[in-house]
Amino acid sequence: MLEISDLSVGFSREGRFARVIPGLSYSLRRGETLGIVGESGSGKSVHALALLGLLPQPPGKVLGGQAIFRGEDLLTVPEARLRELRGGQIGVVFQDPMTALNPVLTVGRQIAEPLMRHKGMTRRQALDRATDLLALVGIRDAARRLSQFPHEFSGGMRQRVMIAIAISCEPALLIADEPTTALDVTVQGQILDLMAELRERLGMTMIWITHDMGVVAGIADTIQVMYAGRTMERGPVEAVFASPRSAYTWGLLQSLPHGARPPGGRLHQIPGQPPDMFNLPPGDPFAPRNPFATERCHVEAPPLRQVEGSVPGHLAAAWYDLPALLERAR
């Protein structure tokens, strides 16, 4: 469905330049849900914006790489084609529905517009479909609510409207960036259930970006842990949760309550600060905060490779043997 190879993105700030994503590669199978986690500034949003052609350029710049979506390279297709894909075959949900929705247009019109643009529907057909979509995302009295404006909806309801817009054209791929972060835990749970149901019904492939390991556990097949624009660990959720191999992943998991991991377990208990991308340490960027770091970690960045003795596709970037170190520390 999607094959990203060596995506590299830079940013300039005050006359300085940083490679905030030095070379990201991953692929996504049809129907797979990928959960991308990592602290603030790890490059989660920047990588998604680069894929969607929405990176602010300047100060950002895509420096290289490929992102093949159904045979087309998203990084080099013409802007017009990308616009056609966005909202059509690729649905997008961002964190803040108030900035993404147009305050002066009715909700009905905003759902109908992509259907008219991408699916060639008449206004009447699109509004009928919009009613179905609002009902599908769990908004009651849908026909009446079509003529209302975004401010007449609660935060959770607005996020549902955003989801209705994102799925309106039955996208093959849905990219969601912190779609539930602004919502309270109960509403967050409802939206997650809704997404899981829609994924089944529409056969969608999803990229779900979040701070929240609990959300990843609930919705993703595959987890990708990012730090300083790099993948520190990636693999099937069960394998990574059961035996993390990057100390960063381990730290994120430690910050959650043990046993049940409900949505809401946020990541903020790793000592130290996320790195300044304009002033990265040499070697493994997590080394300065890593209690298990070896001398080598401070001088040479570890490659991302298959974890020995784990399931295929469980990859980690670490010079040390975390399970052995944890065993010894016991």
Ligand X SMILES: Nc1ncnc2c1ncn2[C@@H]1O[C@H](COP(=O)(O)OP(=O)(O)OP(=O)(O)O)[C@@H](O)[C@H]1O
Least CB distance to ligand X at residue 125 (A): 37
Q: Tell me how far apart the alpha carbons of residues 220 and 213 are, in angstroms, rounded to a whole number.
A: 10
Q: CB neighbours of 11 closer than 8 A, spacing ≥ 6? A: 17, 18, 20, 46, 59, 60, 61, 277
- Which of 10, 11, 100, 172 binds ligand X (CB under 6 A)? It is 11
Q: Are strands 90-93 and 205-210 parallel, antiparallel or unpaired?
A: unpaired
- Which of 191, 277, 317, 322 binds ligand X (CB under 6 A)? It is 277
- Which of 35, 38, 97, 171 binds ligand X (CB under 6 A)? It is 38
- Which of 2, 4, 7, 20 binds ligand X (CB under 6 A)? It is 20
- Would you mind telling me the total number of residues written for the chain in this entry? 330
Among the candidate windows 24-32, 44-52, 75-83, 104-112, which touches ligand X by CB under 6 A?
Answer: 44-52
Q: What is the CA radius of gyration of the chain?
A: 21
Identify which of residues 138 and 274 has a Cβ nearer to ligand X in the complex.
Answer: 274
Does position 224 interact with ligand X (CB under 6 A)? The reply is: no
Q: Are strands 222-227 and 305-306 parallel, antiparallel or unpaired?
A: unpaired
Instruction: Give how far the C-alpha of residue 231 lies from the chain's centroid of Cα atoms, to the nearest Å.
Output: 13
- Which of 2, 10, 24, 42 binds ligand X (CB under 6 A)? It is 42
11 binds, among ligand X, Mg ion, none (CB under 5 to 8 A by kind): ligand X
Q: Tell me how far apart the alpha carbons of residues 108 and 161 are, in angstroms, rounded to a whole number.
A: 9
Contact yes or no for 112/129 (Cβ under 8 A): yes
Q: Tell me how far apart the alpha carbons of residues 144 and 287 are, in angstroms, rounded to a whole number.
A: 56
Q: Tell me how far apart the alpha carbons of residues 234 and 33 are, in angstroms, rounded to a whole number.
A: 13
Least CB distance to ligand X at residue 131 (A): 34
Annotate 121-142 with DSSP letters as a single string: --HHHHHHHHHHHHHHTT-SSH
Does position 45 interact with ligand X (CB under 6 A)? The reply is: yes
- Which of 4, 7, 43, 45 binds Mg ion (CB under 5 A)? It is 45
Among the candidate windows 43-51, 97-105, 114-122, 151-159, which touches ligand X by CB under 6 A?
Answer: 43-51
- Which of 158, 160, 199, 211 binds ligand X (CB under 6 A)? It is 211
Least CB distance to Mg ion at residue 177 (A): 6
Residue type, 33: T
Contact yes or no for 50/9 (Cβ under 8 A): yes
Among the candidate windows 41-49, 152-160, 168-176, 312-320, which touches ligand X by CB under 6 A?
Answer: 41-49
Identify which of residues 146 and 207 has a Cβ nearer to ligand X in the complex.
Answer: 207
Does position 62 interact with ligand X (CB under 6 A)? The reply is: no
Residues at the interface with ligand X (CB under 6 A): 11, 13, 20, 38, 40-46, 56, 59, 211, 277
Binding stretches for Mg ion (CB under 5 A)? 44-45
